[in-house]
Amino acid sequence: MSNISALHQSLVERLKQQGLIRTPRVETAFRAVPRHLFLPDVPLKKVYKDEAIVTKRLDGQAVSSSSQPAVMAIMLEQLDLQPGDRVLEIGAGTGYNAALMAHIVGETGQVIAIDIDEDIVEDARQHLAKAGFEQVKVVCTDGGFGYPSAAPYDRIILTVAAWDIAIAWQEQLKPQGRLVLPLTLKDNVQITVAFESADSYLVSISTSNCGFMKLRGAFAEPQEAEDTISIHLNKLLMQVENILLLPLPIQLQLKLYNLIKFRRSSLKGLRIRVYPQDTDYIKTADEFVIVKRWTRLVLDWQ
């Protein structure tokens, strides 16, 4: 086994041992698709660490990356791809995630990856071609509109954080389809959620903590909302840290935030239902309602 192959398989083995890779299809894809082909200018030891790698910055701010493999594994397991599925990915990145999905859906399936920047799209195309996945279609367009010309999709996945769930994503999903995305709840707290349709609304079937760069373009988070939630979260954490006189680890911050905002210290048992924003919903005492631009999120714990 070559040094590259050893590094590659060692990373996959760690993800499997941690329980993040759980199914044979996801494991086979991770073992078959080398990450270094999508990060040609990054040292191999860094490529095969379980960490996100920034690939583009604008005005000093990171806007694109190769996601952390652990988070990719979690989301691919949430997505539950099947051979023959038609998949839309919003946020092409390096093309690595699209290649993993293309391996799973096979020759009878289709993967379409879209990104808002032409240079990211062109790089992803080159990486995919080098890795032998020319069948993946990579398109430059605003992800908030989805890609209607190839809809409907069995699966839609976002690899950028969304402040709300765009109407186009719901309309372009098949009735029995699944939507997986990093969703910002409140005060900049993100979770990755798998949604399926239930009558006239979406309902979550799994959730996990995450951290992603934010969706850009016409459907980006409103600036005033971003400023407000950042101020609220920072004030909250500063108050607690001043009492304790030490900075809190990020996981503890998230648990504390959940406890104060939702009276829960973890996501275990969390259910999210997504209704149209104008739905006349009367919440119960155990529910939390978050009103967004297009949707109304109802959170409860089962």
**Cis geometry, peptide bond prior to residue 152 (ω within 30 degrees of 0):** yes
Contact yes or no for 193/210 (Cβ under 8 A): no
- In a 10 Å sphere around its CB, with 0-12 CB exposed, 13-18 middle and 19+ buried, how is residue 129 labelled? middle
- The per-residue pLDDT for 245 is 45
Residue type, position 275, single letter: Y
The architecture CATH gives domain 3-215: 3-Layer(aba) Sandwich (3.40)
- The per-residue pLDDT for 229 is 46
**Residues paired with residue 271 on neighbouring β-strands, in sequence order:** 300
Among candidate residues 132, 17, 150, the one with its CA nearest the CA of residue 87:
150
Catalytic residue (choose from 64, 65, 66, 204): 64
The owner of tokens 């070559």 is 2
Contact yes or no for 194/203 (Cβ under 8 A): no
Give the mean pLDDT per block of 10 residues along the chain (302 residues): 91 97 98 98 96 91 91 97 98 97 98 97 98 98 97 97 95 96 82 92 91 86 60 54 48 55 70 93 87 92 84
Domain ranges of the chain: 3-215, 225-262
- Specify whether 10 is catalytic: no
- The per-residue pLDDT for 98 is 98
The owner of tokens 């402040």 is 163
Neighbouring residues of 113: CB distance < 8 A, sequence distance ≥ 6: 89, 91, 92, 95, 97, 98, 124, 136, 137, 138, 139
